[in-house]
Amino acid sequence: MTQKYTLIFFLSIFLVGNAKMLNAQTVYSGIYKTFSGNTGYHHLTRNSGGNTSAVYINQEGSGDILTLSSGIYAPNQNNRLVFRNNGSINMGERGGNYDFQVRRTGAEGSVVLLLEADSDNSVENSNPLIKMLQDGKTIGANIGFSESQFGIDNFGIGMRYSGQDKNDVFIIKTQNGFVGIGTKSPDSKLTVRGKIHSQEVKIDLNGAVVPDYVFLDDYNLKSLEEIESFIDKNGHLENIPSAKQVEEEGWNVKSMNLKMLEKIEELTLYVIEQNKINKEQQEEIAALKKQLHHLTK
């Protein structure tokens, strides 16, 4: 009698693929497996409407809710996707206390996460974006691509505070690698709209010449009268941009520091020359005082 019911049970499993199951049944344990070498697949279709799940899996115990694995089946072996009882999801290896974990071990290769919103190679609003929110969505961050937030083809990091979005915090233009902070339109390798606070800044000369040539014997050091004449005519020092030029073109730190150093070195030569003149004058004054002293005796 037992063999009869067992045969009926397994026949019902094979027949269910081609017939509708009219009555709900409860199976407490078992394995549904195709024969070795089977090239078909299992297909579960819900062919009616409704607002409930097509497949509902519930775990009343403390074990994992669902495990998808590959290869020869064995518990906790070759796990590919695990939905755990605590609500976390593990991909690759089971374990860890993270809400979502992707992990590979051994020689299985690197972990690569692909987010592709659109594959037709056209510019539009379908963009991959990661949103992180807390405190009732009043604080958070957006990371990824969003034409409306970061501009066309720009990778960005935007922040949210007190319910207000700021979308130009950090921008990378994919076509040239330019980085913008506080701006969506960087025009250089790094463009910052705002103040920068740093403990130290180091600038490579890249072929620029430090103006020690000022101290060479053949350097044409202009006279103070020539400098005065240039200032009277132009309103600024020679080789130094005017206030209008700086306002329009900005201040190039490297080139201007070198020009300022040139002027400092020129000024040093003027001071040295004036010191020589002062010493000669002091010697002449001392000699005149000595002569005057002899005359007044």
Within this chain, do residues 221 and 188 fall inside the same structural domain, yes or no? no
Starting at the earlier edge strand, list the strands of the sheet with 190-192: 129-134, 139-145, 154-161, 164-173, 179-181, 190-192
CA–CA distance from 97 to each of 62, 89, 92, 102, 263 (Å)? 15, 10, 14, 12, 64
Within this chain, do residues 176 and 217 fall inside the same structural domain, yes or no? no
Helices (H), 20-97: none
According to DSSP, residue 68 is labeled E
Within this chain, do residues 216 and 290 fall inside the same structural domain, yes or no? yes
Within this chain, do residues 173 and 220 fall inside the same structural domain, yes or no? no
pLDDT confidence of residue 167: 83
**Residue 256 CB-half CA count within 13 A:** 11
pLDDT confidence of residue 49: 66
Find the domain containing 157 and state its range. Answer: 129-192
Backbone angles phi, psi at 47, to 5 degrees: -105, 25
Domains held by the chain: number: 2
pLDDT confidence of residue 18: 43
CA angle 62, 65, 67 (to 5 degrees): 125
C-alpha gyration radius of the chain: 40
pLDDT confidence of residue 143: 92
Asked if 169 and 158 touch (Cβ cutoff 8 Å), the reply is yes
Domain assignment present for residue 171? The answer is yes
Q: What whole-number distance in Å separates Cα of residue 250 and Cα of residue 193?
A: 13
Domain assignment present for residue 166? The answer is yes
**Segment holding 67, helix H or strand E:** strand 66-69
* pLDDT tens-digit series, residues 232-254: 999 999 999 999 999 999 999 99
Q: Dig out the tokens for 136 from the structure.
A: 């009732």
Domain assignment present for residue 106? The answer is no
Q: What whole-number distance in Å separates Cα of residue 157 and Cα of residue 44?
A: 41
Mean pLDDT of 62-90: 84
Helices (H), 108-151: 147-150
Within this chain, do residues 249 and 187 fall inside the same structural domain, yes or no? no
Q: What whole-number distance in Å separates Cα of residue 45 and Cα of residue 20?
A: 11
* pLDDT tens-digit series, residues 133-190: 898 888 999 999 888 888 888 999 999 888 888 888 999 999 999 999 999 999 999 9
